[in-house]
Amino acid sequence: NNLLLDVRNMSVDYYAANGAVHAVRDVNLSLKRGEIVGLAGESGSGKSTLAYAIARLLRPPAAITAGQVLYYPSIQEGERRTAFTAALEQANSKITDPVNSPTQSSGVDILKLTPPQLRAFRWNELSIVFQSAMNALNPVMDIGTQIIDVLRAHQPERSVQSCKERARELLKLVGIAPDRLRSYPHELSGGMRQRVIIAIALALKPELIIMDEPTTALDVVVQREILDLISSLCKETGTALIFITHDLSLLLELVDRVAVMYAGKLVEVADRNNFYAHARHPYSYGLMNSFPTLHGPRRKMVGIAGSPPDLRNIPAGCPFHDRCPMAFEACHQVIPALRTPFADAPEQIAACHLYDPKITRTTQMPGPAD
Ligand code: SF4
Ligand code: MG
């Protein structure tokens, strides 16, 4: 079984005085082991909220109103039990929810984990790098101590010496000389601090890392280096990655798949090549044209006029219809379903009436992205 994570029918609301904000709306997304997925969309599209929901990091007034996050821990014959599978087994001996048995191929619902199971899940199975992570390093502690602290907190049985060795190994992995263990964050450049954060995320060899725009504070050249590093490390270690970005231009070459969110919904999912050559959703099409490419001729900055709808009061029909250059009558009335109508790309799905043969359209389908 190659499946690592399966998010099903996830919805998240934020409760505000003037009504619930429907930040994530019925999202389905799965991830294979070792796969790198770019989760893209404008700010406010729900991508960070979805990631936080997956990691169970949402706090009130945000609440998951529906859905499951099924996780498939790797359990191989004869393999040493991980901290996480041990925590699951311990709970099962006391008979809890049968869904959360690691021996079942149905996966473990992360939303149902007990606090000790969740502690074992974090870092060991999933680590998250936040948007402002670079500045989250403790300024009065050298970076070696900070890496070792994470190792010791999750592997208390591990010797100090072995933690030190692992810390040196991790620094080497992210391209920092191991003698930098004694450096303080202010002695490092922004790019190096970001590398330290990546080293910490990898410290306990998680199966999955979620990164929420981790490089936006860096200049473009350094961002590029860091992204290359992240993707090559993930490929090397077989770690799956969900990379959240509003800027596809930096990312597109590094991901296996792209998932695009708009107004809380997934509107297109495609493998990188299909997305690059032929994004189908008019919003993706707009995203693709709204940045200059790194290679080849610079594209015109077309951008997408207008702004996303109010998520307290979502208009009828396609949520993109106000901004969509291809909208026609049906778009104002009927919500398009996320489906696969593409004979040439069975893995590509898009939520758009242009591709629904049952709906009479009055506009042309968009052609290839260039
Ligand atoms: Fe545009 Fe209509 Fe497709 Fe929505 S359904 S993206 S409004 S063409
Ligand atoms: Mg965000």
CA of 318, closest atom in ligand 1: 4
ipTM surpasses cut 0.90: yes
pLDDT value at residue 295 = 55
pLDDT value at residue 88 = 85
CA distance 22 to 8: 16
Q: Which bound ligand lies closest to the C-alpha atom of 333?
A: 1
pTM: 0.90
CA distances 120 to 57, 83, 198, Å, are: 14, 6, 19
CA of 330, closest atom in ligand 1: 2
pLDDT value at residue 251 = 85
Determine which residue's CA is closest to atom 7 belonging to ligand 1: 321
Cα(267) to centroid(ligand 2), Å? 17
List of the chain residues with pLDDT < 70: 1, 75-81, 91-105, 290-302, 362-370
CB 348 within 8 A of CB 271: yes
> Which residues lie with the beta carbon below 6 Å from any ligand 1 atom?
281-282, 318, 320-321, 324, 326-327, 331, 336, 352-354
Q: Which bound ligand lies closest to the C-alpha atom of 363?
A: 1
Task: Tell me how far the alpha carbon of residue 239 is from its chain's centroid.
Answer: 13
pLDDT value at residue 96 = 46
Q: Which bound ligand lies closest to the C-alpha atom of 282?
A: 1
Determine which residue's CA is closest to atom 5 belonging to ligand 1: 352
pLDDT value at residue 302 = 60
CA of 326, closest atom in ligand 1: 8
pLDDT digit string, tens, across residues 110-144: 999 999 999 999 999 999 998 777 778 999 999 99
